[in-house]
Protein backbone atom coordinates (compact mmCIF):
# COMPACT_ATOMS: atom_id res chain seq x y z
CA UNK A 1 0.00 0.00 0.00
CA UNK A 2 2.90 2.36 0.67
CA UNK A 3 4.00 2.07 -2.95
CA UNK A 4 0.49 2.81 -4.18
CA UNK A 5 0.56 6.16 -2.44
CA UNK A 6 4.02 6.83 -3.84
CA UNK A 7 2.51 6.34 -7.28
CA UNK A 8 -0.25 8.75 -6.31
CA UNK A 9 2.41 11.31 -5.53
CA UNK A 10 3.66 11.19 -9.10
CA UNK A 11 0.19 11.53 -10.58
CA UNK A 12 -1.14 14.17 -8.22
CA UNK A 13 1.98 16.35 -8.29
CA UNK A 14 1.85 16.32 -12.06
CA UNK A 15 -1.91 16.84 -12.40
CA UNK A 16 -3.24 18.65 -9.35
CA UNK A 17 -2.38 22.25 -8.69
CA UNK A 18 -4.80 23.18 -5.91
CA UNK A 19 -3.53 24.88 -2.78
CA UNK A 20 -4.59 22.22 -0.27
CA UNK A 21 -2.79 19.47 -2.18
CA UNK A 22 0.41 21.50 -2.03
CA UNK A 23 0.02 21.98 1.72
CA UNK A 24 -0.57 18.37 2.78
CA UNK A 25 0.73 15.96 0.17
CA UNK A 26 4.32 15.60 1.35
CA UNK A 27 3.25 14.98 4.94
CA UNK A 28 0.80 12.31 3.85
CA UNK A 29 3.19 10.62 1.44
CA UNK A 30 5.92 10.54 4.06
CA UNK A 31 3.38 9.25 6.56
CA UNK A 32 2.25 6.47 4.25
CA UNK A 33 5.86 5.32 4.03
CA UNK A 34 6.32 5.17 7.80
CA UNK A 35 6.90 8.71 9.09
CA UNK A 36 4.30 8.89 11.86
CA UNK A 37 5.06 12.51 12.75
CA UNK A 38 4.53 13.66 9.17
CA UNK A 39 1.33 11.62 8.92
CA UNK A 40 -0.13 13.18 12.05
CA UNK A 41 0.78 16.64 10.77
CA UNK A 42 -1.09 15.94 7.54
CA UNK A 43 -4.13 14.65 9.42
CA UNK A 44 -4.09 17.68 11.72
CA UNK A 45 -4.10 20.05 8.75
CA UNK A 46 -7.00 18.16 7.19
CA UNK A 47 -8.94 18.17 10.46
CA UNK A 48 -8.41 21.90 11.00
CA UNK A 49 -9.59 22.59 7.46
CA UNK A 50 -12.67 20.41 7.95
CA UNK A 51 -13.46 22.18 11.21
CA UNK A 52 -13.74 25.42 9.22
CA UNK A 53 -15.43 23.84 6.19
CA UNK A 54 -16.85 20.31 6.64
CA UNK A 55 -17.46 20.07 2.90
CA UNK A 56 -13.93 20.86 1.74
CA UNK A 57 -13.42 18.17 -0.96
CA UNK A 58 -9.64 17.90 -0.79
CA UNK A 59 -9.53 17.87 3.00
CA UNK A 60 -12.23 15.19 3.03
CA UNK A 61 -10.46 12.92 0.57
CA UNK A 62 -7.06 13.21 2.26
CA UNK A 63 -8.51 12.77 5.72
CA UNK A 64 -10.54 9.80 4.50
CA UNK A 65 -7.43 8.27 2.94
CA UNK A 66 -5.64 8.77 6.24
CA UNK A 67 -8.38 6.97 8.15
CA UNK A 68 -8.27 4.21 5.55
CA UNK A 69 -4.53 3.91 6.10
CA UNK A 70 -4.99 3.69 9.87
CA UNK A 71 -7.64 1.01 9.42
CA UNK A 72 -5.27 -1.03 7.29
CA UNK A 73 -2.69 -1.09 10.07
CA UNK A 74 -5.35 -2.22 12.52
CA UNK A 75 -6.56 -4.94 10.15
CA UNK A 76 -2.99 -6.22 9.97
CA UNK A 77 -3.07 -6.56 13.77
CA UNK A 78 -6.47 -8.28 13.53
CA UNK A 79 -7.99 -5.49 15.61
CA UNK A 80 -11.25 -5.69 13.67
CA UNK A 81 -13.33 -3.93 16.31
CA UNK A 82 -11.40 -0.69 15.81
CA UNK A 83 -10.45 -1.22 12.16
CA UNK A 84 -13.96 -1.55 10.72
CA UNK A 85 -15.33 1.83 11.93
CA UNK A 86 -12.23 3.62 10.61
CA UNK A 87 -12.51 1.78 7.30
CA UNK A 88 -16.17 2.71 6.90
CA UNK A 89 -15.66 6.33 7.93
CA UNK A 90 -12.65 6.73 5.65
CA UNK A 91 -14.56 5.29 2.70
CA UNK A 92 -17.54 7.53 3.41
CA UNK A 93 -15.35 10.66 3.54
CA UNK A 94 -13.62 9.82 0.27
CA UNK A 95 -16.94 9.08 -1.42
CA UNK A 96 -18.37 12.36 -0.13
CA UNK A 97 -15.38 14.24 -1.51
CA UNK A 98 -15.93 12.77 -4.98
CA UNK A 99 -19.66 13.53 -4.80
CA UNK A 100 -18.84 17.14 -3.95
CA UNK A 101 -16.20 17.56 -6.63
CA UNK A 102 -16.35 14.72 -9.20
CA UNK A 103 -14.10 16.40 -11.75
CA UNK A 104 -11.32 17.58 -9.45
CA UNK A 105 -8.16 15.60 -10.07
CA UNK A 106 -6.84 16.40 -6.60
CA UNK A 107 -9.84 14.48 -5.24
CA UNK A 108 -10.01 11.61 -7.72
CA UNK A 109 -6.36 10.56 -7.54
CA UNK A 110 -6.11 10.19 -3.74
CA UNK A 111 -9.32 8.17 -3.56
CA UNK A 112 -8.39 5.94 -6.49
CA UNK A 113 -4.95 5.27 -5.09
CA UNK A 114 -6.22 4.50 -1.59
CA UNK A 115 -8.89 2.13 -2.84
CA UNK A 116 -6.65 0.36 -5.32
CA UNK A 117 -4.03 -0.20 -2.62
CA UNK A 118 -6.63 -1.59 -0.23
CA UNK A 119 -8.22 -3.82 -2.86
CA UNK A 120 -4.90 -5.44 -3.70
CA UNK A 121 -4.65 -6.62 -0.10
CA UNK A 122 -8.16 -8.07 0.10
CA UNK A 123 -8.22 -11.76 -0.72
CA UNK A 124 -11.99 -12.00 -1.14
CA UNK A 125 -12.81 -10.87 -4.73
CA UNK A 126 -16.37 -9.97 -3.77
CA UNK A 127 -15.11 -7.51 -1.14
CA UNK A 128 -12.37 -6.13 -3.34
CA UNK A 129 -14.54 -5.50 -6.38
CA UNK A 130 -16.48 -2.42 -5.15
CA UNK A 131 -13.20 -0.74 -4.24
CA UNK A 132 -11.66 -1.58 -7.61
CA UNK A 133 -14.73 -0.25 -9.40
CA UNK A 134 -14.43 3.08 -7.60
CA UNK A 135 -10.68 3.20 -8.29
CA UNK A 136 -11.25 2.49 -11.98
CA UNK A 137 -13.81 5.31 -12.16
CA UNK A 138 -11.34 7.69 -10.51
CA UNK A 139 -8.39 6.90 -12.75
CA UNK A 140 -10.59 6.85 -15.83
CA UNK A 141 -11.98 10.28 -15.00
CA UNK A 142 -8.48 11.66 -14.48
CA UNK A 143 -7.41 10.20 -17.83
CA UNK A 144 -10.47 11.55 -19.65
CA UNK A 145 -10.10 15.05 -18.21
CA UNK A 146 -6.45 15.20 -19.26
CA UNK A 147 -6.73 13.28 -22.52
CA UNK A 148 -6.14 16.26 -24.80
CA UNK A 149 -2.82 17.07 -23.20
CA UNK A 150 -1.53 13.82 -21.72
CA UNK A 151 1.75 14.40 -23.56
CA UNK A 152 2.37 17.39 -21.28
CA UNK A 153 2.49 15.22 -18.16
CA UNK A 154 5.85 13.61 -18.78
CA UNK A 155 6.50 9.94 -19.47
CA UNK A 156 6.77 8.73 -15.88
CA UNK A 157 3.64 10.42 -14.44
CA UNK A 158 1.69 9.26 -17.49
CA UNK A 159 3.09 5.76 -17.04
CA UNK A 160 1.83 5.63 -13.44
CA UNK A 161 -1.65 6.75 -14.50
CA UNK A 162 -1.78 4.21 -17.33
CA UNK A 163 -0.53 1.47 -15.01
CA UNK A 164 -3.23 2.32 -12.50
CA UNK A 165 -5.87 1.98 -15.20
CA UNK A 166 -4.41 -1.17 -16.73
CA UNK A 167 -3.94 -2.95 -13.40
CA UNK A 168 -7.36 -1.98 -12.06
CA UNK A 169 -9.21 -3.13 -15.16
CA UNK A 170 -7.15 -6.32 -15.18
CA UNK A 171 -8.16 -7.04 -11.60
CA UNK A 172 -11.79 -6.34 -12.48
CA UNK A 173 -11.58 -8.94 -15.23
CA UNK A 174 -12.12 -6.44 -18.06
CA UNK A 175 -9.42 -7.61 -20.46
CA UNK A 176 -10.62 -5.35 -23.27
CA UNK A 177 -10.07 -2.15 -21.30
CA UNK A 178 -6.92 -3.48 -19.62
CA UNK A 179 -5.43 -4.21 -23.03
CA UNK A 180 -6.01 -0.62 -24.15
CA UNK A 181 -3.86 0.77 -21.36
CA UNK A 182 -1.22 -1.94 -21.42
CA UNK A 183 -0.80 -1.18 -25.15
CA UNK A 184 -0.39 2.51 -24.33
CA UNK A 185 2.25 1.63 -21.73
CA UNK A 186 4.09 -0.47 -24.27
CA UNK A 187 4.01 2.42 -26.72
CA UNK A 188 5.70 4.70 -24.18
CA UNK A 189 8.44 2.13 -23.61
CA UNK A 190 10.97 1.93 -20.79
CA UNK A 191 10.54 5.51 -19.64
CA UNK A 192 7.10 4.63 -18.23
CA UNK A 193 8.74 2.32 -15.70
CA UNK A 194 6.20 -0.39 -16.55
CA UNK A 195 7.28 -1.72 -19.92
CA UNK A 196 8.00 -5.20 -18.58
CA UNK A 197 4.58 -5.49 -16.94
CA UNK A 198 2.94 -4.41 -20.18
CA UNK A 199 4.88 -6.98 -22.21
CA UNK A 200 4.09 -9.75 -19.74
CA UNK A 201 0.39 -9.02 -19.53
CA UNK A 202 -0.08 -8.64 -23.28
CA UNK A 203 1.68 -11.98 -23.82
CA UNK A 204 0.06 -13.97 -21.02
CA UNK A 205 -2.95 -11.96 -19.77
CA UNK A 206 -1.40 -12.22 -16.30
CA UNK A 207 1.04 -10.38 -14.05
CA UNK A 208 3.44 -12.54 -12.07
CA UNK A 209 4.46 -9.82 -9.60
CA UNK A 210 2.63 -7.10 -7.67
CA UNK A 211 2.71 -3.74 -9.41
CA UNK A 212 4.93 -1.17 -7.74
CA UNK A 213 5.69 2.46 -8.38
CA UNK A 214 9.13 3.15 -9.82
CA UNK A 215 11.18 5.86 -8.19
CA UNK A 216 10.83 8.22 -5.25
CA UNK A 217 8.48 11.18 -5.51
CA UNK A 218 8.55 12.74 -2.08
CA UNK A 219 11.22 14.99 -0.68
CA UNK A 220 12.04 14.13 2.94
pTM: 0.86
Looking at the fold, whether 74 and 167 belong to one and the same domain comes out as no
Query: Of the residues 147, 167, 189, which one is the last residue of a structural domain?
Result: 147
Domain shared by 120 and 158, yes or no:
no
pLDDT, position 153 = 83
The DSSP secondary structure of the chain, one letter per residue, reads: -HHHHHHHHHHHHHH---HHHHHHHHHHHHHHTT-HHHHHHHHHHHHHHHHH-TT-HHHHHHHHHHHHHHHHHHHHTT-HHHHHHHHHHHHHHHHHHHHH-TT-HHHHHHHHHHHHHHHHT---HHHHHHHHHHHHHHHHHHHHHHGGGGGGS-HHHHHHHHHHHHHHHHHHT-HHHHHHHHHHHHHH-GGGS-HHHHHHHHHHS--SS-----S-----
Number of domains in the chain: 2
pLDDT tens per residue, range 182-195: 999 999 999 989 99
Cβ 181 vs Cβ 160: under 8 Å: no
- Give the whole-angstrom CA distance, residue 79 versus residue 72: 10
Residues 124 and 26 in one domain: yes
pLDDT in tens, 76-116: 999 999 999 999 999 999 999 999 999 999 999 999 999 99
Report residue 16's pLDDT band, with 50, 70 and 90 as the boundaries: very low
Q: Averaged over 13-41, what is the pLDDT?
A: 80
Q: How many CB atoms lie within 10 A of CB 5?
A: 25
The reply to whether 124 falls in a domain is yes
Indicate the pLDDT class of residue 214, thresholds 50, 70 and 90. low
pLDDT at residue 154, as a whole number: 83
In a domain, 216, yes or no: no
Instruction: Report the distance separating Cα 96 and Cα 197, nearest Å.
Output: 34
d(CA 30, CA 204): 36
Whether residues 72 and 181 fall in one domain = no
Residue-number span of the structural domain to which 28 is assigned: 2-147
- Check which CATH number belongs to the domain holding 140 and give it: 1.25.40
Please say whether the beta carbons of 208 and 174 come within 8 A.
Answer: no
Lowest mean pLDDT among 8-17, 56-65, 72-81: 8-17
Task: Confirm whether 26 is domain-assigned.
Answer: yes
Amino acid sequence: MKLIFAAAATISIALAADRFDHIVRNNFFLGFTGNEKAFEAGMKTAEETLAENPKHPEALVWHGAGLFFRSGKLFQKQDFQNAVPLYERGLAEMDQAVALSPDRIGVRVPRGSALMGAARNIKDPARARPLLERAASDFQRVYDIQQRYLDKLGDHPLGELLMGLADTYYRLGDETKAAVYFEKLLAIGKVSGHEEEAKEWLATRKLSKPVTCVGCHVSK
